[in-house]
Structure 1
Amino acid sequence: MSALTGKVAIVTGSSRGIGRAIAERLGKDGANVVVTYVGNRDKAEEVVSAIQATGAEAIAIQADMRSLTDIGKLFQQTLERFGKLDILVNNAAGKNIFKPTAELTEEEYNSMFDITRGVYFALQQAAQHMSDGGRIVNMSTSGTAMAIPSGGAYSGSKAAIEQFSMCLAKELGPRGITVNTVSPGVTATDGLVLEQDQVNQMIAQTPLGRLGQPDDVASAVALLVSDDARWVTGQGLRANGGIV
């Protein structure tokens, strides 16, 4: 029997990149997985097929995590399909915008904090509907510890998520539900926008001497949602090769 056999997981923003790696890893570990996407259903169905090939069940649900209506429908449809929820991974992210404070527009600011707002209300849904003994993992960034110039708004939007995690861990602890945060470093996905010289600089600063891969982050999430991490809650795990 696999570690997560019989568990039901939602992984938001899981049609590509780190989210896809997490969804496929949880499926490999036996969980039935809800894959969410905003616009690319074909990519989401690829993830569903990959999970089903391991013997687990999976479905794709369209959900814009900036919309409270979509968030509510996501949880409703999950419960209708599987009857319960054991794991939530809040992975969905918008565009990461790095601009000097003097230049960032209101629209750019809102685009990042709208995702943060969505995480909060997804956590509210989980608090209402998750089975006792469940697992919640929120994705942040190692940038919250690095004070990156021009990254104040972006890092701030993720730092709020870290606070959500710590506070909710204390709220849900009596029900045996753990809440933790995983903070990746620079990870090789199709969303990586750094120039090669910047990539080389990041590698040079990383003790393990390479960029992170989506599977590296997925492994950290898999640990936190497993029974082995039943005594770990309210914590932040930096999956970043030691760069900070």
Structure 2
Amino acid sequence: MANKDLEGKGAIITGSSRGIGAATAQLIGERGAGVVVNYRSKAPRAKKVVKGIEEAGGKAVAVQSDLTESQGTQALVDAAVENFSSVDLLILNASGGMESDRGEDYALTLNRDAQVNMVQAAMKVMPKGSQIIFVTSHQAHFIHDVSTMDAYEPVARSKRAGEDALRAMTPALDELGITLTIVSGDMIEGTITATLLNRAEPGAIEARREAAGKLYSVEEFAAEIAALVNKPGLGQAHTELVGGAEDFLARSR
């Protein structure tokens, strides 16, 4: 029986129709929060996530929204308020930029600008004691010190720009009593990013698996994200490094 510590809370999880976002949504729903499941274009997948949460006794609603459009971020906030009365938790999981069909500025638009816009929209309604979690990767978090694969570099730089932009917002978040938490993971087995990277640079996943000792599955990483929700004693802008960051830390000293 899951701990119902999020009963009565409203949560938005961006990019939650599949992968890490979907697995995190399931865990948050099991803890009693009403979850806004966000998808860009795949409605059936999002509805399946909602169904999974409801079957486990939770509450959820699927909302179509492209975060790179300003009305997209507002639609998620409105849905959380309408369905669950508040936004107490915002998990910024949506990211991308390896898609070849979205234009050259897409990575920065999604991984930095859309994240900031989402936080600005949510901050207006988030009560004191709320939490924002930004999900990133070691490849992005350490990009200033440790180089990454060529195919991933624009994405890594844009995600780090997003992280830096959110960190710059902490004085405003402090005033509102909202905590920002950064969670950084290694490459995750079976995600679309890992698949695209391995296609661009065959052997990339195997090399990371060797360097890290092990790579997390989607479910394992989602559990680490969920474990930071409502965790007591987290400082403002705390960074949680999940699994296999030792070689990054050693190279960035």
What is the Cα deviation at residue 10 of structure 1? 0.3
- Between the two proteins, the alignment pairs up a number of residues equal to 234
What secondary structure does 1:107 align onto? Answer: coil
Counterpart amino acid of residue 35 in structure 1: V
1:50-81 Cα offsets, whole Å, 9 max, x none, are 11122111000000111111111221222122
> Paired residue for 1:142?
138
Q: Distance in 2 between matches of 1:205 and 1:47?
A: 33
Q: Which runs of 5+ in 2 are unaligned?
A: 249-253
Q: Distance in 2 between matches of 1:141 and 1:181?
A: 10
Identity between Structure 1 and Structure 2 (%): 26
Q: Distance in 1 between matches of 2:185 and 2:74?
A: 27
1:139-178 Cα offsets, whole Å, 9 max, x none, are 2221131321424422221111221332233322233311
TM-score by length of 2: 0.85
Alignment RMSD: 2.2
> Paired residue for 2:14?
12
Asked if structure 1 preserves the Cα contact closer than 8 Å seen for 2:185 and 2:241, the reply is yes
Moved more, 144-153 or 45-54: 144-153
Q: Which runs of 5+ in 1 are unaligned?
A: 98-103
Runs of 4+ in 1 over 6 A off after TM superposition: none
> Paired residue for 1:235?
238
Asked if structure 2 preserves the Cα contact closer than 8 Å seen for 1:169 and 1:234, the reply is yes
What is the Cα deviation at residue 123 of structure 1? 0.6
TM-score by length of 1: 0.88
> Paired residue for 2:251?
none
1:168-191 Cα offsets, whole Å, 9 max, x none, are 333222333110111221101341
Asked if structure 1 preserves the Cα contact closer than 8 Å seen for 2:17 and 2:49, the reply is yes
Asked if structure 2 preserves the Cα contact closer than 8 Å seen for 1:167 and 1:234, the reply is no
Change (3 A) 1:51 1:106: closer
Asked if structure 1 preserves the Cα contact closer than 8 Å seen for 2:113 and 2:162, the reply is no
Q: Distance in 2 between matches of 1:4 and 1:186?
A: 29
Q: Distance in 2 between matches of 1:241 and 1:169?
A: 27
Q: Structure 2 matches for 1:10-89, cutoff 5 A? A: 10-89=12-91
